[in-house]
Each structure stands twice: as C-alpha cells, then as structure tokens.
Structure 1
C-alpha cells in the first residue's frame, strides 16, 4: 500500500455499516484514499512554493500545520482535561485584510496539508482570495490523546462536541490573525463533515455566514434500507453504464449464494470466494455475504475512482456463464486488483479490531466511527427490504449486535441516540439559512440528505450521474458535463453569499 498518509478525511463516509468489517470495502476505501492523495499531490505540485512550517510570530502567511489545545468537554468547564486538535492554514491566496475564510471541516479520518492545497474549495479560494483553514475532527487522526480510544473517554466523542470545537477554533483564528466582521466565514464539508458544515451554520449562525454541505446525510436513520435501494437503482442506471440486466444478474447471483448457504454448501462457497478460513457460524457467514455486497456498494459509492459500474456490469451481464459464476469472477477481479490472496471473514477478529484502543494517527478511525454510529447516527445498511438485491442475512440484528459486543450499547439505546440527533438538528428539515446541499444522484447517501430547496436560502443541488463527494475533488478534464456545471453553480452561489455579506457589513 505504500507509506502515504491518507488525506481527504472529510469525505470518507461513510464507512459502510458497523458490522461490515468484511475486508472488501476496507480494501477498496484504502485504495480510493490513496488515489485521492496522489491526485491531491499532483494538483498541489502546481503550487509547490508552499512548504509546511511551524508558526512563529508574524509568519502566518504561509502553509502552517499546528495544534490548538481544546477542552475535552466543552459543556463541563469543571473538567480540566484537554486534547490537542490539529489544523492547517494556507494563506497564499488570501486577499488581506478583508478576504473571506474558507473552513474545511474534518470528519471520520485524518486530514493532511492537502486539504488546504487541493480540491474544489481550494480552486474557489484562488478565485475569491480566501484564507484556507482545515480542522481535524476530535478523536481522529492526530487530534486524540493516547488514551482517547478507551471506553471512558469515547463519551466525549460526539457531533455536538465537534461543533463546539469549531466555535473554539473560530475564536482562536480570529484572535491570532486579527480577523474582523469583514472576513466572511464559509464552511465546507463532505459526507459526515458535510452534515457538520450545515449544522455549524444552523447552530452558530453568528460565526459562519454560509456552508456548502456535500453528500451530507443530515437525517440519522437506524435501519438505513435506502442505501441498498440506491445501489440497485445505480446498477440499473444507463447513464453510468448500468442496466436492468446487470441489476437482475446481481440479484440472481446473491440468491444462488443464499441457496448454497441454506443447503450447507459452505465449503464450496469458501473455496469459490477465496475465504481465508472455512465458513462456519452465523456471524462469520453474515460477514462473508456482507463482504460480497461491499464490492457493489463501494464501486457505486465511489464510481469512477478506481473502478466503475460500467466495468462491473460487463462482468455481471456475461451470458456465457451463470450469475453465480459472474459473482465469483467479479470477486476474483476485485481481490486481484487489491493484490489480496484471500478474504478474512472472521467476525470475532473484526470485533477484536474494533475493541483495540491503540491510537493510529492516519487513515480512517474505525472504532471511533462505529461508536458514533452506535450513539448518534445508526446508518446501518440492511438488506431485509424486499427490493434489496443482496443477501437477506445482512439484517438489522446482525448490525446492531456489534454495538452491544463492542460498546455494550443496546438496540433501544441506539434508536434513542438516532432520535435525539434528528430532534437536535432537524433531520432533513433543519430550517437553516444560506446552506447549499450538494449530492450526486448515484451516491447511496443522498437519500438521507436534502434534495429539494427548503427555502430561498436553503438550497439543494443534485448532480446527474455523480457519486459520493465528487464535487469536492479537484477539477479534471475528464469530469462529466453535469459535474462541471454543478461546480460553476457552487462557485456562483459562494460568490453571491460573499457579495451579500459585504453588503450587510456595509449597512451596519
């Protein structure tokens, strides 16, 4: 895999469901992140005069990586515990002294300097003279204490604490750089951080003037059946190379797998799908079928980044072999592409990994994100709905059991947490203002976002044929026309907000 320190932590989401520690999606996600990092490095190399350096008095004009000491609990000042939260500043394009501030919000993985060097928000900063900031999410990346993953400390990991971190960071930067009300703040985020961007505007409208929320699942949902509905629809979508024949072939293949499970032909399945160990026990079998479904989920969610629906459907519509044999071939193709010999379907091993409290400062925070799913969001992508094309063994009980086993959080408490999140933020009717929700229509997460204008200032943009957070990536000559047009719309909206802010400031 190489030693690249993975970036674009603000758009990783969303790891598939908690129990889907089947290795397919983990492998694919790591490869996607690596490719995004390499793409960001190439994009940033065009502006290679920026070198990271430590901040000293008077040197806040270059690319800086530093940390801010934050309270571990913003809501109990009697608790003296703190942690160091990592951030980056890129002031190269900043039109002093009144230029805007673009805040890139971190999420369920580490950030890096490339989050202020590459991406659509950086391209926009060049045009509009903005100061670029990126703040890593608490408990992810390097923004965590050595004991942060232990159970007693995870209680301080929540979206509410994360928003308070953003408010504290706003005050810190304002004081450090002597910002004024003339410096208009706009938040940017994708996936879970997209939701955070919208919620930051909702809860702290006096601090952030507007927000662009990309692929933002603002509606928490425990039993997220809509995810696999969109996957099935995307496999049928001719715009991206899908077809009804492809969708039906996938459904028939998984039906064959379920039949073999029911008739006890587990040795054949283990051999055909390159399981590292024999398949036995309901949990291991559920892990196995979940891993197979991961292939389709990941290729749809990140369509065009390392693989595509079009290539997948070529395999799944090969009429010279049965649908089951097509699935075997697709799995082989996937594993060979990831340079993996076999797949570990051990459920117990997955749980042991999630219980591991060793802090890793790079990549995705698996244990942390599962905790947030169990306490705030749910997002369990089940397959019990009659329209689901995968295995019926991917059910809610299988998903929710992980929360019990790893964190001792019962299913009714998960639902309570989901309910509170929706009440606290307003779900898909947040009643915010000056927020632009951007979604791709083949992204499975768009079904939990906002797809229609809620008001004249709470806007929605749906991009035909694009996937998860596609609008946030650096522009490319290969971008489809709808994506190009969407970025122009985003640019125009941000420019309009800045003009409005300038007018409002002038009227004071």
Structure 2
C-alpha cells in the first residue's frame, strides 16, 4: 500500500511552503499580533516562540459588554480561516464581541524553530493537539487580563472544531462554551468504520449527480487498476489524462488514481451553494458541475471516452478557471492553503484517523485501511510511531460514543448532511448539556461561512441555533 496523499480536514489540513494567495491577501478590520508562548508547556523554563493571532475589537468597543469569540486555528495559515469563517464576524457584530483567530503552532508562520521546524524529530516533537490547546489557553489568559471577566466562546471547524470541543473539555474554567462544526472527534480506531468516509463521498455524488455519476467514476478506477501494471498503456494514459508528467511506472498510474480521488473527496467536502475560495477557487455547486461532465459518457467500454469525461469532472476542482494547459498530478490539492507537512506529521502521531475503501460500497478501488502499513510509512517518513490511543488518553474515547461525552457540557456539534466527515462526527445529543444536529444540504462547516442568500434553509436555521445557544451559555436566557 502506498501513502501518496492523506485526506485532510479538513481536516483537512496548510504549510509554510505557500499560502492560497487569494485567501490571505487582506484581512480588513483585524490587527495582526504576536505573543511569546512556551515551546513546551509541560516543562519548566521552556524557550518560547512567536505565535500569531488576529484580533478585532471595534464591535466590543461600542458597548463593552460582549463576549470573546476565540477561533481555534487548525492545520493552516490563520488567514485562511479568518477569510472562510465569516459567520463568526457576522455574529460578533450582533453580539458586540471581540474576535480572535489564533494560529496553530507549526502552521502558517507560527514556527517554533523557524525554517528548521520540520528538519529534525527533536524539533517536531512539540507538534500536537495538547500543545496547541495550551497555546490557546496561554493566549486567553493574557487576553483575560486585559478584558477582565469576559466570557469566552471557542469556535472551530473540522480539526479546528475538534480542538474547540477538546478546549472546552480540558479548559472549562477558560471557555464558557464551544461551537464545534464538522468536528470528527470519533474518527479514530474503535469508534469509526474506516470505509464510511468514502461511502459518504460516494453517497454525496449519487444524491447530487444521480447514480450514474459514481458508476462512471467506479468504472474509470477499474480500468486504471487493470492498466496499472501493464506498461503498454502508460503512454496512452498520458494522452488520455493530459498529464504534465510522463507516465512510466505503476506508481505514476497510482498518482493518476490519487489525483482523481483527491478531487472527488475534496469536492464532496466543499460542495457549497455559493462560490468559495477555501481549498481551491470553486464555483457554486461544484459536485453538480463535475457530475454534469462525468455523466456525458455514452460508451462505458471506451477507455479514452471514460477517462476524458472523468478528468473533466476532476478539473472542476483543479482547474475551474480553465487556464491550466495540462494536468499536474503532483499539484498540491489545496493550493498551498493547507499545511501538508504538518498535517502528515499529526496524522502519523496523535491524529491517526483511519480511512479505507473497497470499490464496492464506494466508487473508488480496493484499498482497505491497513494500520501496519500506515505505521511503517510513518516510521519511514517521520521516525515516529503512530499513537493510536492518543485521543482516548487525552480527551476520552471508547467504543461507546455516549460514554465518551458523558461528562462534557456546553459544546454545540453541527454537521452537514453532505459532509463525508459525518463518519466521525457527533450526530446525536448524548447528554442534556450538549447540542448536536445535522443540517440538511450543508457541507463541511457550511455554517461558519459568511451568510449568503442561497444558503440551504437548515444552514440558516443552524446559525440561529448557534446564536441562541451562545446567548444561553452566557446569560442563561435567549433573546
């Protein structure tokens, strides 16, 4: 088994090697700040590094009566999340809140060892969720000295949503409540079916594009599997997929498979009803557009015909502008907006989130989750063993999801019905002190995006629930 690409959180997942320029070029009304935080919060006399955060106070200055909205930065440059979490700012304007977006260590420009942060295992050992949460607690303690007594609401989407939920669990004295959107806190060994993520991707394509859409995609993968170890097809595959690279080995064919897989899985996560610029610049309803291309196939027995239209579907994700002359198989699937190195390390250590496929209940190929193969990849790449029990030890995890959250309180878990990360998300209320719901027509943290006229009705109503829940946490009443 090869590990050429790992699914993110989304979870994602942003790097010092570059940013999605359209996402980070400007942050109006926010002030960029730095704070010195310990590299190791769990050791005395630790050296420090500069963690970046953005803060906006003008809404609060009007009445000086609002809360602090604190976004737990996830696996990328913090500007990406500021620009793609417009509802937080929107609600802050209604509730006179201070807004803070904190950058996750080892992402964006918050590098504990500067350009050497990823160069040695010793430098990397401080990259973990618990160290990041301690950063956020450190920053909040500092802010609370200046803004004494203000209640804090933590926010996050995807991995950031996991952090927001864990923040409330670990630091309830600092956080009055948490909004955890599309937060797959159960996506670990023992609490998830590894195949479910890809089953939900396939279900999404079937619901939006009709059953013919995943059927064509599955056929394309069957052909690629057949051709993968037959070099007589390699030159033709270059032509059929218009690749920038030469296809000369079976690994190159596998790169085509991954190129398609990533396009379709990321499209399933970002199938928003308005244009977006999160992972890539995308039009509204991109899965519908992709399936519109894919289902133009008339002859499923014609390899070239099938590949041509499946590639057109994938290019709704990679090349919506139509400006690329060839398909670059090794193109960063998130245009540099996600920190691939940092996320890969987290996936190999504290956040091992199993994902597999079988080619039967999903539209891909047979590649079941193989923990031993993944462990081998991680040891070879990072020199680190996978900490499969990390979530259980630090935040509570077991085969019984209700048991995990029995002591938790004041956390709102929201999910979108189109989001494949439902596979590990909290979908039902497990105790009366939690809120959990699924938004029909919503996708990966749709509710955190800036409100738009064509938002699905349940995304709109979900935002109302968020506002009312925050009011209740802060005041004990809903206005």
Which bracket does the TM-score occupy, shorter chain normalised? 0.7 to 0.9
Question: Shift of the alpha carbon at 1:34?
Answer: 5.9
Q: Do residues 484 (structure 1) and 460 (structure 2) align?
A: yes
* TM-score, scaled to structure 1: 0.78
- Shift of the 244–385 alpha-carbon distance from structure 1 to 2, 3 Å rule, reads closer
Superposed CA offset, 1:422-451 (max 9, x none): 332124533310100011111111211100
Question: Shift of the alpha carbon at 1:395?
Answer: 6.0
Residue 51 of structure 2 corresponds to: 85
Contact 1:88/1:116 (<8 A) preserved? no
Q: Do residues 288 (structure 1) and 266 (structure 2) align?
A: no
SS of equivalent to 1:475? coil
Q: Do residues 312 (structure 1) and 290 (structure 2) align?
A: yes
Q: 1:377 aligns with which of 323, 331, 351?
A: 351
Q: Do residues 193 (structure 1) and 160 (structure 2) align?
A: yes
Separation in 2, partners of 1:100, 1:119: 17
Contact 1:286/1:394 (<8 A) preserved? no
Q: 2:325 aligns with which of 338, 341, 344?
A: 341
Q: 2:473 aligns with which of 497, 504, 508?
A: 497
- Shift of the 150–172 alpha-carbon distance from structure 1 to 2, 3 Å rule, reads same
Contact 1:273/1:332 (<8 A) preserved? no
* TM-score, scaled to structure 2: 0.82
Q: 2:119 aligns with which of 133, 146, 150?
A: 150
- Shift of the 311–332 alpha-carbon distance from structure 1 to 2, 3 Å rule, reads closer
Superposed CA offset, 1:223-253 (max 9, x none): 832221110111111xxx3212222222122
Q: 1:297 aligns with which of 265, 270, 279?
A: 265
Q: Which sections of structure 1, spanning at least 5 residues, go unmatched?
A: 1-10, 22-28, 51-62, 351-359, 503-508
Aligned pairs (5 A) from 1:53-452: 63-78=30-45, 80-94=46-60, 96-112=63-79, 115=82, 119-144=86-111, 145-146=113-114, 147-151=116-120, 152-175=122-145, 177-180=146-149, 183-221=150-188, 224-237=194-207, 241-264=208-231, 265-304=233-272, 305=276, 306-307=282-283, 308-322=286-300, 324=303, 325-332=305-312, 334=315, 336-337=319-320, 339-345=323-329, 363-384=337-358, 386-392=360-366, 396=370, 402-409=377-384, 413-414=385-386, 417-427=387-397, 428=401, 429-431=404-406, 432-452=408-428
Contact 2:228/2:250 (<8 A) preserved? no
Question: Shift of the alpha carbon at 1:327?
Answer: 3.8
Residue 8 of structure 1 corresponds to: none
SS of equivalent to 1:140? coil
- Shift of the 380–289 alpha-carbon distance from structure 1 to 2, 3 Å rule, reads farther
- Shift of the 336–447 alpha-carbon distance from structure 1 to 2, 3 Å rule, reads closer
Separation in 2, partners of 1:378, 1:113: 24
Superposed CA offset, 1:29-50 (max 9, x none): 98xx666668xx6xx8xxx6x3
Separation in 1, partners of 2:396, 2:250: 38
